[in-house]
Amino acid sequence: MTAPKVYADLSLLINFLMDAAILWTTARLTGLKLKWARISSAALMGAFYAVGFLFYPDHILYSLPLKILFSLLIILLAFYPLHWRVFKKALLYFYLISFIAAGAMTGLPYLIMGMDQEASGLNIIWIFTGIVIALLLGWQGKKYLFAKVVPELLNYIVHIKLNGEEISGQGFLDTGNMLRDPLTDSPVLIAEYNWLKQYLPLDLRKIFETSLNEAELLTAAADSSWGGRLRIIPFSSVGRQNGLLLGFRTDEVRLKIGHEYICRKNLIMAIYHEKLSLEGNYQLLIPAEIVQNG
């Protein structure tokens, strides 16, 4: 079987469209301002680089280190100036989208036609399918990323030892949770009352459900069976300044991250009366400091 012919002009066009689609999607997902002239210039530079490989495949310019360097130059040309943090994020998206599009171009023919089928006559179709997938990632990818992927990555099973009993619930890593225990300056876990109440002593639960106001709740709770565990946690939120939450000391809190556990002793858990997740996806808010310093 003879090798299929590769035309430089067609390769230039295809690589230009692919690079432009990937850069556009990178800008969308990273939140960068779209500058079409810059994106077009970077995509054209990438296309010429790809076409050069057809003629000089063994040239040092196409060694792995220089390929990586060239991708850095493309990102800079398309989006400069960039803060280092944003540059790293853009580069990550650039590679991620490239791998997804490339995987679609190489994997879909075998998935649809089978390993023994001849797919060379449909190469252009699969290449443009990869371009369309890259564009779809830019169009709907961010919405899916923040609606599905990110929440999954930030959800953890939380195991809590409390008064000799171990309980567990679903926790969400909340980078905006800045509550701290005034006595120890430790970060504070937040728990939804409707989930937690089944584990509270009967007298403390009754106080929560019958107290008419915050002051009455705090006064009555101090005389409860868990009076020695209780903490008063000050907080501020939108429309509420100088608020107070009732919390208590746990014996131990453990989070499973991958194959390892992060363990914190004597962590304070504040009780929140409203729902933390409207969909019921989690019952606890985990301060990011626990994971960062675990």
What does the pLDDT read at residue 242?
65
Do 175 and 244 sit in the same domain of this protein? yes
Q: Both 215 and 132 in a single domain?
A: no
Answer yes or no: do 100 and 164 share one domain: no
Domain boundary among the residues 144, 167, 196 is at 144
Q: Are 90 and 25 in contact (CB under 8 A)?
A: no
Q: How many residues does the chain have?
A: 294
**Which of the listed residues 144, 174, 204 is the one where a domain comes to its end?**
144
pLDDT value at position 116?
Answer: 47
pLDDT digits (tens, 9 = 90+) for 110-140: 555 554 444 444 466 667 777 777 777 777 6
- Check residue 69 and give its pLDDT: 92
Where a domain ends, among 120, 144, 168?
A: 144
41 lies in which domain range? 8-144
The verdict on residue 186 lying in a domain is: yes
Stretch 251-255: mean pLDDT: 91
Position 57 pLDDT exceeds 90 = no
Residue 1 inside a domain? The answer is no
Q: What angle do CA 265, 220, 182 make, to 5 degrees?
A: 40
The number of folded domains in the chain is: 2
CB 282 within 8 A of CB 155: yes
pLDDT of residue 121: 44
Query: Tens digit of pLDDT for each residue in 86-104?
Result: 888 888 888 888 887 776 6
Cα 220 from Cα 214, distance rounded (Å): 10
pTM: 0.50
The pLDDT of residue 41 is above 90: yes
